[in-house]
Structure 1
Amino acid sequence: MRNKKPFTITQVSADGRFGLERENLRVDPRGTLALTPHPLAFGDKLTNSEITTDFSESQIELVTPVAHSVQELFAHEKRLTKTIYTGINDELLWPLSTPPSLLPAEDQIPIADFGRKGQDKTGYRVYLSKKYGRIKQLYCGIHFNFSFPDHLFPNQDACNRFYLNLVANALRHRYFLVHLLSASPERIESIPYRSVRLSTHGYKNLEPVYPDYSSPQNYIDSLRDAVERGVIESPRELYQLVRIKGTGFEDLVNAPKAGRIELRIADLNPLFRAGINPNDLYLMHLYLLWCAQSDASEFTREDQKEANARSDEAALCTVTDSFSVKMNALFDALLTFTRSQSLPAAYESALNDARARWIDRSKSYAARVHSELKREPSAAMHWARQMKNAYLSPCRSAH
């Protein structure tokens, strides 16, 4: 049981600090994974705070600076995307979360090399490659980061409890975003998935980790226990689609100091030249605002197992009646919330856009991507070239 009632904010606004991380694989003009080193144009991957690599040397990662609105965040992403396209010469960015079929042998997939000063980062990637395999690490996605204004919290303890409860709520209902933001359809073992990356075949710890959300200290202690038992190397290996970021929560050493929440759900979306529908930035933010105001309740091990199962179901192409009931109820709750808080019109517009994709399943990202790939197997390369041309051609602009 909780010793203290989780702190909740009394007033919601669109204010806060936003950030975005986007991963893409670099491919050559034939669609084969680029085995070239991280481009010199971007300098040292260890010290460049905006353009670096993720797991692989071939996996470029864009990291926006802190923004104070969705519009500013999107502007940063577009600016950095153009910089990347300028620096990769004739290479392209693979537009899907699922890696291309033209991959080298697994042991030839290059692990990111961060040099002598970055030995810990390189060593961690070697560890992941041995534990999970290199191909799985090539799945790419988008991480949406948000932190609420500091003035909302009377002290750090209230802030910590607030974010912990927020993460629990966001994980409990994450099936909503998993279903709507899936855009990498694939069939595995005769089962069609909306997103392999978000499915049971995607990022999963080999042994499930069920943190204790009853208090910040209990949460940290539960992760420390998982590390001591060898289940995970550190909190950075906690493969959850929603995570709490901040000292203590990430290093297990310092006093807990929650800083932001990280949504690791959105697939790369090849239907939009920035890799994401701008409306979905508002949708994710709206979702977090709603979760912040949702009633607090325990998030036990059994609750987490149930949420995991529902999230896995959301990544499937099939939709059950019981799942539809939950989705419809959450759409209604979000619409009521949006109007009660008098949020800018962009939020209701984003919600309506998502509902249209939900009502007409043929309009979902996964269905549209599947249809295009079935019609034209080389559609991914067409999208890749189209995206690059949109950013580098002075006669065209990115959506």
Structure 2
Amino acid sequence: MSNFIARLNLLLKNLDVFRQYTRGIEREALRCYKNGRLATTPHPKGLGSAYSNRWITTDFSESLLEFITPVSNDISVLLSQLEDMHHFTQTKLGKERLWPLSMPCHISNENDINLAQYGSSNSAKMKMLYRKGLKYRYGSLMQIISGVHFNFSFPDSFWDALFGEQDNISRRLSKSKTYFGLIRNYYRFGWLIPYFFGASPALCSSFVKDKNVTLPFKNIGKTLYLPKATSLRLSDLGYINSFQNSFKISLNTLEQYLNDLNQAIRMPSENFRKIGVKINGEHRQLNSNLLQIENELYTPIRPKCIAKNGEKPAEALKNFGVEYIEVRSLDINPYSPIGITKEQICFLDIFLTWASLIDSDHMDYSEFIYCCDNWRKVVLQGRKIGLELRIDYHYEKIITLQECAKDIFKDLLLIAKSMDIVHSSTEYQDICTKLSSWINDPELTVSGQLLEMTKRYGSFKEVGYRLGEQYRSTYLNHRYKVYSSQELENEVVRSRYAQANQEKTDIQSFDEYLEEYFSYLKR
């Protein structure tokens, strides 16, 4: 009996495990005008404070909205919360609408991308300065690429099934070890996610007009595309920055991960030093190290822990271990008004369970590079039949994407059958059956469908316009399912009060605040 089957059998002793998974979603979306150009207006006042609103905020830019759901054990509730937020938001946007694609709408000038504003408190100024540093380091265009982040955790019953009763310290260690095993396996096999759900095979030529691009793009008017690409968002053009792959941050243990991360945060960068930290009294970035703060590490998946009492993310991980993981490699699904579907979530349930149950040897830097190369192949040419990947570099095993995916699905189907028993449905098996057909026919994938639609309508912009118009109507006609209009309006009022209160209580100068915040770098 394989270790995977043995571990799965342990879970099958309490099928309720599969009912108790915890999930949360963060969906990004650009505001745009009817003509498909980036909206340059400030964050809508009717949405309250972007600094304090728990559910509707901004990311890098004033134009880049972010919707954040509470955590939930119920997928339907989770999606309904997102639908309610989108409806409420559209009622505050006037004639603006949400861009339904990951790659940005038409950008005439990079200076049109206005940095997010959060107020006058020191913590708000730090959020804004961090973004200013990203602009100087990487450029603003890269930062307004939109995606969906999927937060996921296993319930206590999952850990009880695998490890039995444990004291708090032992349980914390077991969870962190298992989550890091999952993360390594995500690097090894997570390219399945952009293969199936990647939705950025094309982009507007305005995105690369000032870049030295060597990719063999073809064009449809002002639209550039790669014929077999799945997710340009995850390529070196997007938020996965090849420069950061040289950091050599270990994925083997929490302790090694934190040590390497702290080194990157402390390590001076000659390139970033040239930008300057404070020039003629103007702050340009938080510091000139490889990473300004932990969040600047761009990865397809992250270990996470809820920070308490002002802890930094790395401090929370050190103190409490890994509590959940954040999957960051999902493109906006253009065929969903809210950017993600129930089918995608069901597949992630199955895949993340599998990645935690199969064996996961430690990964050295050589294997890490092979894994990154597999991802690069899939995002740039994943719909090429017979694309060869290198799996298990110790044995120099080369296998086609189709062969590898079919092997994985044998295990995934076993998990899906168990999940369907507890949910009294066939949903999980149905998604496995559907995606299995996409393995042999890559044009059925989301990227394949989207590229065909782009060719049919003649441009990336036209597809975004048509879907944006359709979804604007969908949002406005939506009826609240979880929230009420009053609940969301109350959060707007509360968020404004919270920002104002924070601004009143700050007594330090901003320079003093930064000095205190980064005092740990001197230790």
Measure, in 2, the Cα distance between the counterparts of 1:164 and 1:250. Answer: 16
* Partner residue in 2 for 1:134: 140
- For residue 111 of structure 2, the aligned residue among 107, 110, 130 is 107
Give the counterpart of 2:51 among 27, 31, 46: 46
* TM-score computed with the length of structure 1 as normaliser: 0.91
**Cα distance in 2 for residues equivalent to 1:122 and 1:104:** 23
Q: Give the structure 2 partner of residue 216 of structure 1.
A: 254
User: Corresponding residue for 2:464?
Assistant: 380
Tell me how large the CA RMSD over aligned residues is: 2.2
1:389 aligns with 2:446: no
User: C-alpha displacement at 1:207, in angstroms?
Assistant: 3.2
Letter in 2 for 1:162: T
Partner of 1:196: 232
Please list every run of 5 or more consecutive structure 2 residues that lacks an aligned counterpart in the other structure: 1-6, 12-16, 161-165, 204-212, 218-225, 268-288, 389-399, 482-523
Higher RCO (CA 8 Å, separation ≥ 6 residues): 2
Alignment of 1:311-326 (within 5 A): 311-317=375-381, 318-319=384-385, 320-321=387-388, 322-326=400-404
Structure with higher helix content = 2
1:158 aligns with 2:174: yes
Contact 1:53-1:112 at 8 Å conserved across structures: yes
Question: Which residue type is aligned with residue 166 of structure 1?
Answer: L
> Among residues 85, 93, 103, which one is paired with 1:80 in the alignment?
85
C-alpha separation in 1, matches of 2:107 and 2:250: 40
| Residue 301 of structure 2 is aligned to residue 242 of structure 1 | yes
Q: How does 1:180-195 map to 2 (within 5 A)?
A: 180-186=196-202, 189-191=215-217, 192=226, 193-195=229-231
In 1: Cα distance, 2:448 partner to 2:252 partner = 39
Distance in 2 (alpha carbons) for counterparts of 1:18 and 1:130: 34
For residue 198 of structure 1, report the CA deviation from its aligned partner. 1.2
- Unaligned 5+ segments in structure 1 are 1-7
Deviation at 1:213, TM superposition (A): 2.8
Identity among equivalent positions (%) equals 26
Aligned residue in 2 for 1:347: 428
Shift of 1:328: 1.9
Contact kept? 2:184, 2:360, Cα under 8 Å: no
Q: Is the 8 A contact 2:22 2:154 kept in 1?
A: yes
Structure with bigger gyration radius? 2
Opposite residue 211 of structure 1, the aligned amino acid is I
For 2:57, what is the secondary structure of its paired residue?
strand
- Secondary structure of the residue aligned to 1:233 is coil
Cα distance in 2 for residues equivalent to 1:170 and 1:45: 32
Aligned pair in 2 of structure 1 residues 156, 311: CA closer, same or farther (>3 Å)?
same
Q: Report the Cα distance in structure 1 between the residues aligned to 2:418 and 2:259, rounded to whole angstroms.
A: 38
Native 8 Å contact 1:106 1:135 kept in 2 = yes
Partner of 1:207: helix, strand, or coil? helix
Task: Give deviations 1:232-285, integer Å, cap 9, x for gaps.
Answer: 222211111111111588234752432211111111121222222320111112
Contact preservation (8 Å) 2:84, 2:478: no
Match of 1:259 among 323, 335, 344: 323
- Is the alpha carbon distance of 1:292 and 1:343 closer, same or farther for their aligned partners in structure 2, counting shifts above 3 Å? farther
Q: Say how many residue pairs are matched.
A: 388
How far 1:19 sits from its partner (Å)? 0.1
Match of 1:207 among 222, 236, 244: 244
Question: What are the superposed Cα offsets for residues 301-349 of structure 1, whole Å, 9 maximum, x if unpaired?
Answer: 1221111111111112334152222222222221133335656422111
Contact 2:32 2:97 in 1 (8 A): yes
1:357 CA displacement? 2.6
Structure 2 partner of 1:4: none
Aligned mates of 2:354, 2:81 — CA distance in 1: 25
| Aligned match for 2:411, one of 310, 333, 341 | 333
The answer for the alignment partner of 1:292 in structure 2 is: 356
SS in 1 for 2:331: coil
